[in-house]
Amino acid sequence: MNKPEQEFLDHLLVERNYSPRTVKSYQDDIDKFCEFIYHEGVMIDDVDAICIRNFLTEELNQGISKRSCKRRLSSLKHFYKYLVNVGYTKDNPFVFISAPKVETKYPHALYKEQIEELFKRNAERTDELALRDQAILYLLYYSGIRAQELVTLPIQSVYLRERAIRVLGKGNKERIVPFSVDCQKVLKKYIDKER
């Protein structure tokens, strides 16, 4: 690992407070690129658009996904921005490079009949977690909140009478989310019996 790379990774870890896992991803991306330019005989401050395009082409030819290439390109853009800011290079050759187009993958949704079957099958359970799981299923379905939001949802944020929950979502943004009467009944049963 070269000195500028180590300084950049330290900057991410200490000053930007990135997680060690994120910093490791940056390191892997930078190492991969540095290995490529080393074999091409190009110095880190002589990288140009042609060199970057050759790198991306080689990555795609090796079966690396467009999504991974896009992430790697983002890491390298960030790295070179840092190199310019601290004076290791004059220009950021990644500024005008566009990432490969990534197809949008939409999640698979269940049909209404499948949801009803899920509710029915769970209601037939007799174990001690059946009621809790039913409350989870109903709340996810009828409110549309994310699983992560549900996991971190305190009981004080559930307003049964108003049929609403106060959710702290992405970016610490708070919102009020309504739910159905059916969901209200299941939640009330769960809170009364289990909580």
Q: What's CA 147's distance to the chain center, in Å?
A: 13
Look at residue 195 in the predicted model and tell me its pLDDT.
62
Cα separation values, 25 from 32, 34, 54, 127, Å: 11, 14, 21, 42
Q: What length does the chain have?
A: 195
pTM of the model: 0.55
Look at residue 92 in the predicted model and tell me its pLDDT.
92
177 Cβ neighbours under 8 A, 6+ residues apart: 143, 144, 145, 164, 165, 166, 167
Q: How confident is the model at residue 131 (pLDDT cuts 50, 70, 90)?
A: very high
Q: How confident is the model at residue 187 (pLDDT cuts 50, 70, 90)?
A: very high
User: pLDDT by residue (tens digit) across 9-56?
Assistant: 999 988 888 889 999 999 999 999 999 999 999 988 889 999 999 998
Mean pLDDT of 170-177: 84
- Taking alpha carbons only, the member of 48, 20, 47, 21 closest to residue 34 is 47
What is the radius of gyration, based on Cα positions, of the chain?
A: 25
User: pLDDT by residue (tens digit) across 67-116?
Assistant: 888 899 999 999 999 999 999 988 899 988 887 777 777 778 888 899 99
**Rounded CA separation 125/138 (Å):** 15
DSSP character at residue 155: G
Look at residue 165 in the predicted model and tell me its pLDDT.
94
- Taking alpha carbons only, the member of 74, 36, 38 closest to residue 55 is 36
Q: For residue 104, what are its two tokens? A: 């949008």
